[in-house]
Structure 1
Amino acid sequence: MERFSAFVTDHRAPIVGVALVLALLSGIAALFVPINYDLTSYLPKSAESTRALEEMDAEFDAAVPNARVMVNGVDVEQALAFKQQLADAPGIEGVLWLDDVVDLGTPLEMLDPAAVDQYYRDGHALFDVTVANGQETEALQAIYDIVGEDGNATGQAVNTAESKAMAGGEVANAFAILVPLILLILVLSTTSWIEPVFFLLAIGVSVLLNMGTNIFLGEVSYIAFTIAPILQLAVSLDYAIFLLHAFQRAREGEPDPVRAMRTAMRQSFSAIAASAATTLFGFAALGFMQFRIGADLGITLCKGIVFSFLCVVVFLPAFTLVAYKLIDKTKHRRFLPTFKGVGKVLAPLRIPVFALVLLLVVPCFLAQANTSFTYGMGSTEGSQTRVARDTEAINDAFGQSTPAVVLVPKGDIGRELELAERLEQIPHVTSVLSYPTAVGAAIPTGFLDPAVTEQFYSEHDARIVVYADTESEGTEAFAVVEQVRAAVHDLYGDAGLVTGMAASLYDMRTVVTEDNQVTNLIAIAAILLVLVLTFKSATLPVILIATIESAIFLNLAVPYFTGDSLNYLGFLVINTVQLGATVDYAILFTDTYRKHRRSMPPRQALARTLGTSFQSILVSASILTSAGLVLWLTSTNNIVSLLGLLLARGTLLSFFLVVTFLPAALLIFDKLIAKTTWHAGFFRGGGHLETEKEAGS
């Protein structure tokens, strides 16, 4: 550490220059990182819906219809003209309408009413549109230009286009709100006007480095793009605070700033490393998910923590020595109280809170596991966007419609007809579009225009489109998926495949449910290992993990008791993020308590610990809570907004339990901790409590 600190302080100017140049280049590179808005693309390759999509992409030119477009007040001829305009628009691979399923040479009154009503009723024409992957924004703009303000568009592709349009702006808006909030918190908690800027500059450089180096990953999900920079900023500011506070303390006894910084680096390195390690391992657990969004988010967050750590131990010391005189010139009085007497205020809450948590933890554990979950983007109900209004208009006119695509081996048209008839009998299935049902089993494909047959047949496969009047997820939607797959597999075995949004979300539910236990166990085991190495104790790590896990159970149980649904991805991520991000509060508190406990009895040590660590924990929790609230309030994306709410509430619960439940646990298990901690050296009477290991040495 001596050589490292000497190198950093001796080469401070080049280090600052290189870091700022790299940050600038990374900021430019971040603008060119592709963002993936399709969560279903992160399903494992073994999922049936993924295998079906890959086969369909290889066999057919057009994919599954992923948008519904409605024009109003038109007759059949006008609707056909709109269909042609849509088909010719950029980014649109195909348009399906009434003329694809019936012969419009026959008067509408003589056609099957069920078939007609699915595409045309009361002057409304509804088109099933296939938008090319990656061209959603261009296609939606073209659709709006064609149908005008009176027309409507909804569906997965429309949601993706809206998310693309909002993602960058929402990240900028979140930072525009969060940075002033953090500056205010830091100004109130420090004694220098410029010091908070140093904190934000160091972490800001690391955020830019993280975002820019995402270009080497090929692409990132919109979830990682949206939440990773904000989480990185909020979680790792503590590292900068640790270092600069150590620098201030060192300068009190060392007038030479270079020597003071070297001392500060040595004194704060272990605390910064331990804090970064627990957060890193919490985030790293996401990488073990089968659902590859976990790896995407986990890698991005872990990379961010590494860059934050490096910036705090390399860039920040160098920059501080270059500009430390600004800190001296911008001193101000302390605005926050010292909180030295907070222990007396919180002491009466210890045992009641401890008892209450023990009473609630099991019911909350069961409740959070039985919450009603969603797996996709969620409903747009209640939103004021055009997409929400269009969705409501289309559903009012034609009802819900969710397509699924069935791929089966080509060649047995009789079996295709049998399958189509069985699929039509499934509850909530409104129509089945296949060659034998739309064209006729007796009509040879050679008699038809290839443009017609190519919708149904490739070189090897037959494609059947099944429409259901359900949402894309939920009990009814998933029941339809199960029954469609059962019918397909009964007739075709493993050669038959089913895909579509509902099928993908069904597979997602299966995958992420298995992922939850794995990621939790890995995160807990990894953080336990770090805590064991940090405290050299058999009981302290368990107490710390129990404190934060109790806060997590309380946090995730709230939706169950309020009757709200919870997105499972948010549930999965917050399990590891809240643990990794807030266990630092418990570490700081326990480490401070252990030091005081060596010179005073437990109650006095707890009072002193609360007096000295409460402000640091409060500041850190305030920043992370602010980050969560900003995500919740600024994001129109249901998953990101929910993650923000869970993060804010979870941080507050972790903070409250660390300053109430944890002190009670340390007090109750004081003797056990002394016996199971290596060289505990706890004070007892006029000397130190002799541990069993010391006695045997």
Structure 2
Amino acid sequence: MKEKLFRWVVKHRKPIIAFYAVAALVCLFLRQFVGVNYDITSYLPDEAASTVALNTMGDEFEGDIPNCRVMVPNVSIAQALKYKDKIKKVDGVEEVLWLDDAADIDQPLATQDKDTVETYYKKNNALFTVTVNSEKEIEATDAIRDIVGDEGAITGSAMSNALATTSTEQQISIITVAVIAIIFVILVITTTSWAEPILVLLGLGVSVFINWGTNLIFGEISFVTNSAGSILQVAIALDFSVFLLHRFNEERGRHGSVAEDMVQSCCLSSVAVFSSGCTVCIGFIALAAMQFKIGPDLGLALAKGIAISLVSVFTFVPSMFVQFDGFVQKSQHRPFVPPLGKFARLVLKVCIPAAVVILAVVYPARVASTSSDITYYYGTSHIFGSDTRLGQDMDKVKEVFGNSDTYVVLVPRGEVSEEQALSNELKALPEVKSIQSYVDVASPYIPTGMAEKDTLDLVEGEHHSRLVLTVTAPYEGPSTFKLVKKIRCIADKHYPGKAMLAGEGVSTTDLKDTITVDKGKVDLIAVVAVFAVLLLATKSLSLPIILVLVIETSIWINFAAPLYTGMHEFFLAYLIVSSIQLGVAVDYGILIADRYREDRVTMHKREALLETMEACTIPVLTSGSVLLISGFLIHAISSHGVLKQIGWFLGVGVSISLVAVLFALPGFLYVLDGLIGKTTLKAHFLPKDAQDPVSDTTEASAADGSAQ
């Protein structure tokens, strides 16, 4: 069946190449219609408390929650009011709140409430709380920057999203070009033709273009998917092409024609490549089980990309290599990589100690990687460090005004006395510096019909009243999570089951709760699903256990490091990289295990292991080096904290996985050879007392040499 399919592909190679060329061009055009979302909190589940609160507020109030803070230094009250008026006129700015909205600035400030005054004006610095339309964040923040100048400071999620949009797209373009150049150089070194790298890159590029265009089915994708998705697809899918290419070069000249050589190469590599592709896809599809919707966004897009690459490697890539074989032959060059016999013998010497090391660290690595002492970031407040303009602005504002955020409490409208009691109790919290509500801005004794319309529109909706709280809390962290819980408890006491809370810190709290639940679920689904695929692919009870043990241990080692280095870990980076590392390491493990099982049919275990490592090391290192270099490039070039950390963990994680797969896995295969033979269906391993064809050939050659 497989031979028939691949012969059909090779026979119809010209129409297949034409189809992929047209599809790639069409999808490249369609890419421009795929939207990109940079707001992490918008990926909270619809039923999250903060999401419900935001939706309710959006239905009843014109103004959204403030998402930008603007500080202007060295200004008087009169000058600050002029700045407020200028900012208010910026296209995309919906609302600007300042001291004049919370206090009577016609009266001496010394007679006003000190906490309220210093929330907005302190040491001649004015701090404006601004609401920016989410669809105009880039234009609005650029205009505000022009108004306040370099001495001013702009912070908040609107600024963060705007900066992420502009800087990330520029940086990813640089990274993409660098990755393509690296792939080309590595392929030139590890192949024997100048043309082969070009054909491999064409195959990868076509798959990426098709994935870009077909993302239109999602409407929009997250910034993580848009920024890192293509690079990760190229680096991961490179495995498939490299595995096939190296097998094709082994089979070349053995079957009478180039076309038949390719057919047999596809048949022999299909189990390893298809199993690898399925396990990678499953690792990404597991992300779709997350409530945090950025998981399904990234998981489904990447799974689709890998599936497209998998189909391409068995249709488009073989068609190209057969069609342009003459070009490949004319561009041959001498091998740059020496024979790997010495390396294979080194592996044989150290593989058993390496396997012992894996067994020794598996438990402590697991415990350390899941330790509660690791500090996680869940939201966007730390994605730009102090070496960026946004990070420096955040430090400026914090130095003068301390930590600050805006929360909104929504309560049923009309219960004025209860609203007053709630406001009083919230004011008693040391973190709450000011409140704007109907009972605070107007008066609980003035009927709503007599209040000023601007005041009423700010705090009264059709069914709900809202209390706008200025709190001295960071956007995320243990103190924020405690404060959110405390405010929710107080609001629920006054309005049981009816009060709602929203704000950046509130959304981050919900992100934390959602992602923490998702973590265990995604890990379990991924491991169980990968184990099931390995069980079917290897037809073995022992090999899946060995592979999962080696690979999971390398993942745990990677994510145990923050416990000892003190690194703050973005939870989103953990979820993404752990899935990627699981998928790609399984690729390498399947290739080695499958080749060992194949060689073991005609060789004893020592010779089979040597032959396996000689045949598999180059394709594994080719793919792995591209992925780890890509990771470190993303880390070095990107200023976006989440992407930067994804790059770091990816580079380190792939390095650890390569060491584990190239040294420890052979140790398990060697020591557990008898168990693998007994627990693998139709293994047909060469018995101990049987003659080893490899040994016989070696001995015969040695005898001939002696006779001469």
| Residue of structure 2 in register with 1:516 after alignment | 519
> For residues 228 and 350 of structure 1, do their structure 2 counterparts lie closer, same or farther at Cα, with a shift above 3 Å needed?
same
- 1:288: Cα distance to partner? 0.8
Contact 1:341/1:611, CA 8 A, preserved across alignment: no
Cα deviation, 1:259-316, whole Å, max 9, x if unaligned, reads 3333333333333212211111111111111111110001110110111112222222
Pairing 1:308-347 to 2, within 5 Å after superposition? 308-347=309-348
Pairing 1:164-243 to 2, within 5 Å after superposition? 164-243=165-244
Cα deviation, 1:22-52, whole Å, max 9, x if unaligned, reads 2122222222311111111111111100110
| Residue of structure 1 in register with 2:263 after alignment | 262
Q: CA RMSD in A?
A: 1.8
Pairing 1:334-373 to 2, within 5 Å after superposition? 334-370=335-371, 371-373=374-376
> For residues 631 and 441 of structure 1, do their structure 2 counterparts lie closer, same or farther at Cα, with a shift above 3 Å needed?
same
Q: Distance in 2 between matches of 1:638 and 1:224?
A: 15
User: 533, 541, 545: which one pairs with 1:542?
Assistant: 545
Contact 2:157/2:380, CA 8 A, preserved across alignment: no
| Residue of structure 2 in register with 1:589 after alignment | 592
Pairing 1:384-399 to 2, within 5 Å after superposition? 384-399=387-402
> For residues 666 and 257 of structure 1, do their structure 2 counterparts lie closer, same or farther at Cα, with a shift above 3 Å needed?
closer
Name whichever of 255-264 and 71-80 sits farther off: 255-264
Q: Which segments of structure 1 move beyond 6 Å, counting only runs of 4 or more? A: none
Q: Does 1:375 align with 2:367?
A: no
Structure 2: which 5+ runs fail to align? 693-708
Q: Distance in 1 between matches of 2:678 and 2:264?
A: 33
Cα deviation, 1:403-435, whole Å, max 9, x if unaligned, reads 111111111122112111211222423222222
Q: Distance in 1 between matches of 2:381 and 2:408?
A: 22
| Residue of structure 2 in register with 1:636 after alignment | 639
Q: Distance in 1 between matches of 2:515 and 2:66?
A: 26
Cα deviation, 1:468-489, whole Å, max 9, x if unaligned, reads 2221111111111010111011
Contact 1:598/1:688, CA 8 A, preserved across alignment: no
User: 651, 654, 673: which one pairs with 1:670?
Assistant: 673
> For residues 651 and 349 of structure 1, do their structure 2 counterparts lie closer, same or farther at Cα, with a shift above 3 Å needed?
same
- 1:10: Cα distance to partner? 3.4
Cα deviation, 1:639-668, whole Å, max 9, x if unaligned, reads 111111111111111111112221222233
Q: Does 1:622 align with 2:625?
A: yes
Q: Distance in 2 between matches of 1:98 and 1:233?
A: 53
- 1:225: Cα distance to partner? 0.6
Q: Distance in 2 between matches of 1:559 and 1:232?
A: 27
- 1:151: Cα distance to partner? 2.0
Q: Distance in 1 between matches of 2:421 and 2:369?
A: 44
| Residue of structure 2 in register with 1:153 after alignment | 154
| Residue of structure 2 in register with 1:67 after alignment | 68
TM-score normalised by length of structure 2: 0.94
- 1:381: Cα distance to partner? 6.7
Q: Distance in 1 between matches of 2:229 and 2:89?
A: 39
| Residue of structure 2 in register with 1:531 after alignment | 534
Q: Distance in 2 between matches of 1:347 and 1:325?
A: 39
Structure 1: which 5+ runs fail to align? 690-697
| Residue of structure 2 in register with 1:507 after alignment | 510
Q: Does 1:687 align with 2:660?
A: no
| Residue of structure 1 in register with 2:479 after alignment | 476
- Give SS of 1:25's match: helix
Q: Distance in 2 between matches of 1:432 and 1:294?
A: 36
Pairing 1:83-98 to 2, within 5 Å after superposition? 83-98=84-99
| Residue of structure 2 in register with 1:430 after alignment | 433
- Give SS of 2:341's match: coil
Q: Which amino acid aligns with 2:144?
A: I
Q: Which amino acid aligns with 1:288?
A: A
- 1:688: Cα distance to partner? 9.3
TM-score normalised by length of structure 1: 0.95
- 1:599: Cα distance to partner? 2.9
Q: Distance in 2 between matches of 1:503 and 1:210?
A: 35
Q: Distance in 2 between matches of 1:582 and 1:603?
A: 24
Q: Distance in 2 between matches of 1:382 and 1:499?
A: 26
- Give SS of 2:131's match: strand
Q: Distance in 1 between matches of 2:457 and 2:278?
A: 55
Contact 1:404/1:498, CA 8 A, preserved across alignment: yes
Contact 2:384/2:390, CA 8 A, preserved across alignment: no
Q: Which amino acid aligns with 1:500?
A: G
Q: Does 1:108 align with 2:100?
A: no
> For residues 243 and 338 of structure 1, do their structure 2 counterparts lie closer, same or farther at Cα, with a shift above 3 Å needed?
same
- 1:254: Cα distance to partner? 4.3
| Residue of structure 2 in register with 1:282 after alignment | 283
Q: Which amino acid aligns with 2:641?
A: N
Q: Which amino acid aligns with 1:10?
A: K
Q: Distance in 1 between matches of 2:361 and 2:464?
A: 55
- 1:607: Cα distance to partner? 2.6
- 1:322: Cα distance to partner? 3.2
- Give SS of 1:306's match: helix
Q: Distance in 2 between matches of 1:547 and 1:369?
A: 18
- Give SS of 2:497's match: helix
Q: Which amino acid aligns with 1:155?
A: G
Q: Which amino acid aligns with 1:399?
A: G
> For residues 168 and 440 of structure 1, do their structure 2 counterparts lie closer, same or farther at Cα, with a shift above 3 Å needed?
same
Name whichever of 264-273 and 47-56 sits farther off: 264-273
Q: Which amino acid aligns with 1:57?
A: G
- 1:382: Cα distance to partner? 4.5
Q: Distance in 2 between matches of 1:449 and 1:169?
A: 48
Q: Distance in 1 between matches of 2:607 and 2:493?
A: 72
Q: Distance in 2 between matches of 1:594 and 1:531?
A: 14
- 1:100: Cα distance to partner? 0.8
> For residues 674 and 258 of structure 1, do their structure 2 counterparts lie closer, same or farther at Cα, with a shift above 3 Å needed?
closer
Q: Which amino acid aligns with 1:286?
A: L
- 1:240: Cα distance to partner? 1.5
Aligned length: 689
Contact 1:289/1:519, CA 8 A, preserved across alignment: yes
Contact 2:67/2:132, CA 8 A, preserved across alignment: yes
> For residues 572 and 593 of structure 1, do their structure 2 counterparts lie closer, same or farther at Cα, with a shift above 3 Å needed?
same
Q: Which amino acid aligns with 2:249?
A: Q
- Give SS of 2:558's match: helix
> For residues 610 and 246 of structure 1, do their structure 2 counterparts lie closer, same or farther at Cα, with a shift above 3 Å needed?
closer
Q: Distance in 2 between matches of 1:319 and 1:661?
A: 36
- Give SS of 1:134's match: helix
Cα deviation, 1:3-38, whole Å, max 9, x if unaligned, reads 433443333333222322221222222223111111
Q: Distance in 2 between matches of 1:564 and 1:558?
A: 8
Name whichever of 144-153 and 164-173 sits farther off: 144-153
Q: Does 1:421 align with 2:424?
A: yes
> For residues 674 and 3 of structure 1, do their structure 2 counterparts lie closer, same or farther at Cα, with a shift above 3 Å needed?
closer
Q: Distance in 1 between matches of 2:310 and 2:88?
A: 52
- Give SS of 1:408's match: strand
Identity %: 36
Q: Distance in 2 between matches of 1:661 and 1:430?
A: 58
- 1:449: Cα distance to partner? 2.6
Q: Which amino acid aligns with 1:545?
A: V
